Amino acid sequence: MTRGAKRKTTHKDEAFKEPTQPIEENEKNEPSQSAEGSKDEQRKPAEKNYIELNEPAPEEPSTKVDEEPNKKAAKGRAKRTKTSKPEAEEEYFPDKRNLEDLWQQVFPVGTEWDQLDMVYQYNWNFSNLEDAFEEGGLLYNQKVYLFGCTEPQLVSFQGQGKVTMIPVVVAVVSPFPPSDKIGIKSVQRETEEILPMKQMKMDWVPYIPLENRDSQVERLKSQIFILSCMQRRAGLKHLKLERVKKFEYCLPYFYQPLQEDEFEQSTVVQILFPIDPKPVFCEFDWELDELEEFTDKLIEEEELSADQKDAFKDFLKEKVREAKKANREAREARRKALEEMSSETKAAFENMKFYKFYPVSTPDTPDVSGVKAPFINRYYGKAHKVL
């Protein structure tokens, strides 16, 4: 063969030719099992070794609490008896009665402002008043107007005698308000005034029972009306003393046109003669007393000085004339009112009833059963029934 000549490749030579390049590519592209195994061995060497030796692998450290001790502890706790603490007895609060605060809502007319706290120092019980509105009671299904007052009385409480301001509630059964006026009169005042209620911030307002407090007032057909006062104690400091005292001399006014008022036929006049150092208080009956004799007796008792005799007589005569004139005017007004009165109104006055309620006896309040009286005031006279 000539040097440099190219040797001809035979099929045998092709058969023994090593596939160098494809193998290298396969090795690059497809990693062998041994390579994979080596990586796995690096990741989990202990697992593989123990699997090959058929030996149990050691337990990996666990953060969980062993179940077996827990079960035993649970069984132990289940068997342990718990000592129960004695339960505290539930405090019982009785439900409020539907009319429980009725007597408190009624304004105690004529009570001195600084004595109101004495009225409410006890938890007075007026269940007799509440029961009167129940079926079968005196006031059941009736239109009723209520006003309050107070009576200072010496009563016994817890073995001791004490002057107590006793609250009283007067119920007037009437189809219309008994009066829209207030009388202002006291021993200290020379004259009597009859004023509209609203001038003294008083008026008849509907009472809403507890179970109806969430309802609209205008939708309720109230049968109970109470005399209420809008004057607040906090505002008294802005009033003049004379105005404040007027509230303390107030009396619920009532005029009964069907019968002659006892004051229309009275011949007695109250006298307050203003002199220094001490005014003269007395009563003079123009039918029974003689003026000269009456005056001399006052001088004898040193109630009046001799140099004031003539001035006192003139003062007394003037008061008698005023009283006689007032009586005549009252009789004329009553006669005129009767003439103009309708038959329905006349029937209402004839059937009008007054009931006077005192608080019932309880262990927490003074017993007032021994001081009950039917007299209401100079205008209403006596109650038809005292409860």
Together in a domain, 211 and 242 = yes
Q: Which of the given ranges, 16-20, 279-283, 332-336, 375-379, has the highest pLDDT on average?
A: 375-379
Together in a domain, 372 and 306 = no
Q: What is the pLDDT of residue 271?
A: 83
d(CA 261, CA 331): 8
Which CATH number characterizes residue 303's domain? 3.10.20
Rounded to an integer, the average pLDDT of 254-258 is 82
- Report if residue 377 sits inside a domain: yes
Together in a domain, 343 and 227 = no
Q: What is the pLDDT of residue 158?
A: 80
Q: What is the pLDDT of residue 70?
A: 52
Q: What is the mean pLDDT of the chain?
A: 75
Asked whether the beta carbons of 254 and 178 are under 8 A apart, the reply is yes
Asked whether the predicted pLDDT for residue 62 surpasses 70, the reply is no
Together in a domain, 166 and 240 = yes
Together in a domain, 100 and 215 = yes
End-to-end CA distance of the chain: 159
Together in a domain, 232 and 372 = yes
Domain count along the chain: 2
- Report if residue 16 sits inside a domain: no
pLDDT band at 217 (very low <50, low <70, confident <90, very high): low
Asked whether the beta carbons of 74 and 68 are under 8 A apart, the reply is no
- Report if residue 105 sits inside a domain: yes
d(CA 168, CA 201): 21
228, β-bridge pairs: 203
**Does the reported pTM lie above 0.75?**
no
- Report if residue 99 sits inside a domain: yes
Together in a domain, 216 and 262 = no
Q: What is the pLDDT of residue 46?
A: 44
Together in a domain, 230 and 269 = no
CA-closest candidate to residue 178, choices 101, 257, 102? 257
pLDDT band at 85 (very low <50, low <70, confident <90, very high): low
Q: What is the pLDDT of residue 69?
A: 52
Together in a domain, 356 and 345 = no
d(CA 373, CA 104): 21
b/e for 213-250, b at 16 or more Cβ within 10 A?
A: eeeeeeeeeeebbbbbbebeeeeeeeeeeeeebbbebb
Asked whether the predicted pLDDT for residue 39 surpasses 60, the reply is no
Q: What is the pLDDT of residue 94?
A: 59
- Report if residue 232 sits inside a domain: yes
d(CA 49, CA 300): 141
- Report if residue 57 sits inside a domain: no
Q: What is the pLDDT of residue 277?
A: 76
Q: List, for residues 334-365, the tens digit of each pLDDT value.
A: 788 888 888 888 889 889 999 999 999 888 89
Q: List, for residues 241-254, the tens digit of each pLDDT value.
A: 778 778 888 889 98
pLDDT band at 237 (very low <50, low <70, confident <90, very high): confident
- Report if residue 263 sits inside a domain: yes
Q: Residue 277's domain spans which residues? A: 257-350
pLDDT band at 143 (very low <50, low <70, confident <90, very high): very high
